[in-house]
Structures are given as C-alpha cells and as structure tokens.
Amino acid sequence: MNRRMGTRLVWAVLAGSAADLAGLGLIAAAAWLITRAAEQPPLAALSVAIVATRAFATGKGVFRYAERLTGHDVALRAQAGTRERLYQALIPPQRPRHGGADLLSRMVDDTEAVQDLLVRCLLPAAAAAMAGLAAVVIGLTILPVTALVLVAGLVLAGVVLPAGTATAARRWSARIAPARAALAGRVADLVHGAADLAAYGADDAALARALAADESLAALERRQARVHAAALAGGTLVQGLTVAAVVLLAQGAGAGSVGTAVLALTSLVAFEPVLPLAAAGERMAGITAALRRLREVRSAEPAVGEPAAPAPLPGGPLTVEIDDLVVRHAAREASPAGVAPPAVSSPHPAPAPGGPGSPAAAGSGEAVHGGRPALDGVSLRLTPGKRVAVVGPSGAGKSTLLAALMRLVEPESGTITVNGTDLRELAGDDVRTLMTGLTQDPYIFRAGLRDNLRLAGPEAGDEELRRAVRDARLGAWVERTGWDTELGEDGRTVSGGQLQRLALARALLYDPPVLLLDEPAEALDEETADRLMADLLDVTRDRTTLLVTHRLKGLETVDEVVVLDEGRVVQRGRHEELVSVPGYYRDLWESEVLTRR
C-alpha cells in the first residue's frame, strides 16, 4: 500500500515537473529559434527547434492535465489514509475533550489539510524545483556565471520568500485568532442572547460592542494584507531584477544574441512555477497546525487500559458485582475563559471542571468538582433478572457508573466483576458485548431506520427488527416514515422522543445479558416520557437491567432503587421503603406526584 502510494506520488511529481519543464523548453526553443533565425542559417538548422517548439507546446498542456489528475488522486488517497488512521485512533474509549461536536467537525476538516499539503504545496514545490534546476543547467551550459545569479534569484523567490510568508502567516494567525474568537463571541451574544438584550434594553450596547470587535479584527486583517502584498512585490522584484542581471552579465561576457535571448527568456519563465510558492508558504501555517492537532489526537492515551492477554468471556447468567468503586475524572486545565479551577475546599458549589462532553457533567446539571471523585465508594450487586434503578441529582455520578460498567472510564480503585472475573482482565469490546444498551446522547446515522437499527444486530432478520420496533413502541412512526427513508442530519429530522425510542429499539435488538439504560426519558415532554417509561419497564421485565433515570413513576416495579448524590450511595432499597422515609427520594417523589394531572 505504502509503496504503491510512493509510486503514485513519484508519477505525480514527474508529470508536474514535465509540465513545467515543457513550459521552460517551449520558451527556450522559441527564443533560440527566433534569434538563430535572425542570423539567417539554412532552414535545416532550425527544424529541430521548430519540432521542439510544437512538441513542448503540446506536452505542456497534456502533462499539466496528467499532473492534476495524478496529484488529486494521490491526495485523495493520502487523505483517506489519514482518516483511517484517525478513526483507528479514536476507536478505543477516549477521555472527554472540549468542544464536542464542533471539535469532531474540526478534526474531520483537519484531515483535508493532507490534501492541501500535497496538491497545493509539495507537488508544486517539487515541480518548481525541477524547472528551476533545468533553467540553471541551461545557464551553466551557456554561461556559468549567469547560473549563479539565477540560483540566487530562484532561492530567494522559491525558498526565502515562502519561508518568510509561512512564518508571518503563523504569527499573524496567532494574533488574529483571538480577535476572530472575540467577534464570534460578540455575535453569539447578539444572536443567542437576543431575548435578554431586548428585554433589558441592552441591545444597542451589545451591537456597539460587536461592531468594535469587528473593527479591531478588520484592523489586524488590514495589517496582515501587507505581508501578502510584500510577498507579491518581492516576487516581482526578484524575477525582474534577476532577468536584468542575467542579460547584463550575458552581454558583458559576449554570450551572443542567441545565448543571451535564451538565457533571458528561460530565466524569466523559470520563475513562473516558483512565484506561487510564496502563497503556498502562507497556507503552510494552517496545514501544519492541522497536522499537529491530528498527531495530538492520534497520540492521546486511551481512557482505559487493555489487558495484554484478555480473559475469556464469562458464560451463563451474569452476576455483576461493583465493590467500593471510586472513579475520578481527570481535572481540566484552567478554562480558556480565565476562570481558575475553584479551590477544593470551597464550601459552595462553584463553576467547576468537567467538560461538556464528560459523562458526569454532560447536559445541564451541576458540574462536578475537580477534586471530588465522580464516584466515591459505590457498591452494587446485579443478579440475573434483577432490575436496579439509579436516581439522583444531575452530576451525582449516575452516568459515570454506567461508563465504568461499559469500561469507558478507568476506576481509581475498587472493582467491577462479572461472574467473578474482573472487568480489567477482559477486552473492552468484550465487556461491551455483556453490558450495553441505551447510552447517553444516542446518535442517528445518515441512513435508513433499518440500517440504523441493524448496527446493533447485523444478522437480525426483518421479524426481529419488527419486534424491536414494536417493543420500543416505534411501530406507528415506522409506518409513517418507512424503513429506508434516510434519517439524520440532512435527512428527515427525528424528534427527541423518536430518537430515544430508536435508541431503545437498538438496545432491545442487541439484547445484551445486562441491559444499561441511561436517562431514556431525557429531553422528552412529560406525556411522552411517561409513556416511554411505562413501555420500558414493561419490556425489561425479567431482564437484568440497570436503569438511570430522574423520573420515579413506575419504579415500584424494580427490585432495587439506589440514590446517588455526589458520587456516594445515600439511600437504597425498594420504592416503598424509600418513600416511607424522609430524604431525597421522597422529596423527588412528592414533587413528581404533585405535578401530575
């Protein structure tokens, strides 16, 4: 694969060089033809030049076409390779990163830098080097001293200038990026905060601030344009002065009109592929930054370790035991907005770390403390057929518990065992065949419903699909939408309720020995949530299930309810027991009962 890539790359470079060389040859042959013809030699002396002129003219176009095709082909292959490596690096569970979906989009955009690097920087540079070399060789054969001048000019325009623009572009993008971010922030304030601004009569002031941010960005961009302008001017200057110097030297050395003309015109044309390299240099700043970001992603440690020799999967009915589990999320570095991490001893809940993508802090809940473990000594036993519900305020560690069971986070201490085997001795993928289900933020792929379900059961037949859909109470919707209508971003929009039901159908289709359900009624309106929860409690009867929820209706049917708060189990027991004693559970239950019609 790699060698074939290398061969393709060589072909692309050859085609590009051939195109530039043909351009050089065309002008050299034409110059020779004309100046030699002026000396009125016999016609036969010109025939080679005439043929060469025509051949080079045709070759230039054809080789250019070949270069562009082979170049883009290589670039697309290289990009595919980069994407594959990136994907492979992302497969093991990742530590949560900042930025969520935006970050992923940028990562995917970054892989396009490889294409830019090849098509717009490396291949043109290689071809320009070949053309420059050829011009220097012509100079050497006619008058060596002119070759020296030409080398100086070409290096100046093709190496020094691009290096300068690359450096300047890097510096300027470092200065412009904050101004750009400030403007984006101001604009976001205007758009997202429109209601607050209008209600408090502060919209004029906010508009003025946005315009001020625009003005400071524009001022920086105007100054950046000078770099680009200077590079343009420098290129023109170097090219023109080199040609003038070559002519001066050639005439001074008595190189003759033929030699001088050929030297002058080849020098002039040799710069043509070289001058665009300054713009390529400007691009390099962005490209290297993108490639560096990709390297960082690829070299990031996965969130959990994998055993060297994974233990075999335990068989039979599964008993899961969680013993004194402590999980601590890696503390976040100081936030970009300048809010320092709060002191651990702070008595009040303070704005605290826990990225938007981290399991415990996702959504809208109170963020977790940097120093406090997300789970702090949790023990739990799930025997075959038992259903356990985990409730508690947001940020209590409910989702972290599921993540630990799915081997997505590494516990600090304590153990999780499945039929006596420690999870750490099992391969992560194997763990997730035992314990999985409806995870946080389920994703709908841009595909039909059938394919969206099949990812949880590639072998599933139509009958099984239909049953899963029926059990998730998605049947009516499927009849309206159809099995193969494209869903997802550009396809049909899927409402929150349908999305959760689709995710539930997936979980039921997969039918893991231990079913995990993370806030299945999240983001649904009351009525839909009630119906979904009722259905769900119905279909999970006699399945080993761990249900994370903040809705208590129907929990009288589960075998145990565990109340988590700040990572600790504060209450546990059956529903009837918990509502009979004061505490978080009873408060929540009463509040819920009262809001029901």
* Stretch of 140-148, 410-418, 441-449, 570-578 contacting another protein, by CB under 8 A: 441-449
- What is the Cα–Cα distance from 242 to 265, expressed in whole angstroms? 11
Would you count residue 230 as binding another protein (CB under 8 A)?
Answer: yes
Minimum distance from residue 324 beta carbon to another protein (Å):
26
Q: How far is the CB of 235 from another protein (least distance, A)?
A: 8
CB atoms within 10 A of CB 548: 24
DSSP codes of every residue in 418-487: ETTEEGGGS-HHHHHHHEEEE-SS----SS-HHHHHHTT-TT--HHHHHHHHHHTT-HHHHHHH-SSS-B
User: Among 164, 302, 342, 371, which residue interacts with another protein (rule: CB under 8 A)?
Assistant: 342
Name which position in 237, 344, 534, 581 contacts another protein (CB under 8 A). 237
Q: Is 417 left (phi over 0), alpha (psi -120 to 50) or beta?
A: beta
Residue 297 or 557: which CB sits closer to another protein? 297
225 near another protein, rule: CB under 8 A? yes
Is 534 an interacting residue with respect to another protein (CB under 8 A)? no
Decide: is 364 part of the binding site for another protein (CB under 8 A). Answer: yes
In the set 8, 11, 93, 574, which binds another protein (CB under 8 A)?
93
Site for another protein in 35-54 (CB under 8 A): 35-38, 40-41, 43, 46, 49-50, 53-54
User: What DSSP string runs through 504-556?
Assistant: HHHHHHH--SEEEEE-TTTT--HHHHHHHHHHHHHHTTTSEEEEE-S--TTGG
Q: Nearer Cβ to another protein, position 232 or 311?
A: 232
Between 304 and 375, name the residue whose CB sits nearer to another protein: 304
Identify which of 36, 77, 421 has the alpha carbon closest to the alpha carbon of residue 256: 36
Find the binder of another protein among 5, 6, 7, 61 (CB under 8 A). Answer: 61
Minimum CB separation from another protein for residue 490, in Å?
7
Q: Report d(CA 162, CA 565) in Å as an integer.
A: 59
Is residue 146 at the binding interface for another protein, with CB under 8 A as the rule? Answer: no
Among 34, 289, 311, 539, binds another protein (CB under 8 A): 34
Per CB under 8 A, which of residues 494..513 are in contact with another protein?
A: 503, 506, 510
Dist CA 371 CA 374 (whole Å): 9
Binding range to another protein, per CB under 8 A, among 126-134, 165-173, 260-268, 283-291: 260-268
- Total residues contacting another protein by CB under 8 A comes to 165
Contact 585, 552 (CB under 8 A): yes
CA–CA dist 451, 211 (Å, integer)? 48
Interactions with another protein, residue window 271-330 (CB under 8 A): none
**424 closest CA partner among 311, 536, 538:** 311
**488, 553, 557, 574: residue in contact with another protein (rule CB under 8 A):** 488
**8 Å CB contact between 565 and 376:** no
The amino acid at 433 = T
Site for another protein in 163-202 (CB under 8 A): 180, 183-202
The β-bridge relationship of strands 435-438 and 320-327 is: unpaired
Among 312, 316, 338, 461, the residue binding another protein under the rule CB under 8 A is 338
Interactions with another protein, residue window 1-30 (CB under 8 A)? 22-23, 26-27, 30
If one asks whether residue 527 binds another protein (CB under 8 A), the answer comes out as yes
The answer to whether 561 and 392 are in contact (CB under 8 A) is no
When asked if residue 450 is in the footprint of another protein (CB under 8 A), the reply is no
Residue 212 touching another protein (CB under 8 A): no
Among 512, 403, 374, 499, residue whose Cα is nearest residue 456? 512
Residue range at the interface with another protein (CB under 8 A); choices 127-135, 161-169, 206-214, 472-480: 206-214
Which one among 133, 159, 160, 232 touches another protein, defined by CB under 8 A? 232
Reference 326, options 283, 390, 375; nearest CA is: 375
Instruction: Spell out, one character per residue from 96 to 115, where the chain touches another protein: x when CB under 8 A holds, - when not.
Output: -----x--xx-xx--x----
Structure tokens that stand for 453 in this block: 């379900």
C-beta of 517: minimal distance to another protein in Å?
A: 12
Give the H/E segment covering residue 150: helix 144-155
- Contact status: 429 vs another protein (CB under 8 A): yes
Q: Lay out the sheet containing 514-518: strands in order across.
A: 435-438, 514-518, 544-548, 387-391, 560-565, 568-573
